[in-house]
Amino acid sequence: MIKSMTGFGRGEVSKGQRKITVEMKAVNHRYLDVNIKMPKKLNFFDASIRNLLKEYIQRGKVDIYITYEDLSEQTVSVKYHPDVAASYLAYLNEMAESFSLENDIRVSTLSRYPEVFTMEEQEIDEESIWKVLEAAIREACESFVESRLKEGENLKNDLVGKLDGMLGLVDYIEENSPKIIEEYKQKLQAKIHDLLEDNRVDENRLLMEVTIFADKICVDEEIVRLRSHIMMVKNTLIEGGSIGRKLDFIVQEMNREANTILSKSTDLEISNRGIELKTEIEKVREQIQNIE
């Protein structure tokens, strides 16, 4: 099966009073580009998260949003610094004596001085948090991959239909190209008859001119290669996997052959089919950009 590079996934895991929610979305990109937005306390897991994502995603621009709730315990604690309080008190007493002021220091006043009390975050249990985080990420990735596969299947079916239509255009060009040579021969012969009063035509010279013309407009090799490229794209789509880059290269070759066919065409109908062919190839190329 093939995967689209656009997709969305969500995972939510609760354990005890911890809850982690992971949401992820992606669009097409040449390489894997991951952008993670999460609480600062989870930054420690950044490398582990990126390694885990590589199990599920090979290409695409992926945005991941992680929220974390922990109601199991206080995440911060108050710490009292008696040495700092003692220093403040000593200096205040010294000021009162030096300036003969009333010493009105109260505990509530002293406690508001900087660094007497500080708030400190408690150490987090990294192992238990990672178990919850990993489970949430895997759940999000699995739903993400499922959405990619579903869209990838729709892409494949649409592309196969377009490729079948392209084969029809190639068949028309292959069938009608020889007729152009015969028509050219008849027109050239008629023109010579009009120019020569005795209606004598040098058949060898006529044959040479027709051969030169046929060589200029011959698209047999281009048709063979183009049909081969179309079938290769179809077979690759059926095989599935991470095929986006391979398909992009093949479609470039298809476009090259179509350009050559169009440049050699001298017939309006064949030129029109060539233009249709190029249009369909461009549509296929655009859709392939969204395949992983």
Domain segments of the chain as ranges: 7-73+125-148, 76-121, 149-288
At residue 140, does pLDDT exceed 70?
yes
pLDDT tier for residue 283 given thresholds of 50, 70 and 90: very high
Mean pLDDT of the chain: 84
Token readout for 229 is 């490229």
pLDDT of amino acid 191: 60
- What mean pLDDT comes out for the span 262-286? 86
Chain centroid to CA 107: 62
* Rounded Cα–Cα distance for residues 266 and 278 (Å): 17
Sign, Cα dihedral of 273, 278, 279, 280: positive
- The three-class DSSP label of residue 190 is helix
pLDDT of amino acid 110: 86
Neighbours of 82 (CB within 10 A): 8
- The three-class DSSP label of residue 112 is coil
- Interval 55-96: pLDDT, tens: 999 889 999 999 998 776 556 678 888 998 899 888 888 888
Residue bearing tokens 């929610």? 21
pLDDT of amino acid 217: 55
Token readout for 121 is 């975050």
- The three-class DSSP label of residue 81 is coil
Strand locations in the chain (E): 7-15, 18-27, 32-37, 60-70, 76-80, 117-121
pLDDT of amino acid 219: 72
Element at 91 (helix H, strand E): helix 82-98
Chain centroid to CA 23: 17
Domain 149-288 falls under CATH 3.40.50? no
At residue 213, does pLDDT exceed 60?
no
> Percent of the chain having pLDDT more than 90?
43
Among 31-45, 62-76, 132-146, 268-282, which is the least confidently predicted range? 62-76
pLDDT of amino acid 100: 85
- Residue 80, strand partner residues: 117
* Rounded Cα–Cα distance for residues 280 and 286 (Å): 10
At residue 165, does pLDDT exceed 90?
yes
> Percent of the chain having pLDDT more than 70?
82
pLDDT of amino acid 215: 53
The CATH code of domain 7-73+125-148 reads 3.30.230.70
Which residues contact residue 113 at a Cβ distance below 8 angstroms, ignoring those fewer than 6 apart? 84, 85, 88
Among 21-35, 143-157, 212-226, 245-259, which is the least confidently predicted range? 212-226
pLDDT of amino acid 263: 77
Of 125 and 252, more confident:
252
Please state whether the predicted TM-score (pTM) of the whole model is above 0.75.
no
- Interval 39-50: pLDDT, tens: 988 998 999 999
Nearest to 166 by CA among 240, 32, 241, 257: 257
* Rounded Cα–Cα distance for residues 18 and 67 (Å): 11
pLDDT of amino acid 102: 84
Element at 286 (helix H, strand E): helix 268-288
Among 22-31, 37-46, 71-80, 273-282, which is the least confidently predicted range? 71-80
Nearest to 57 by CA among 129, 149, 135, 132: 149
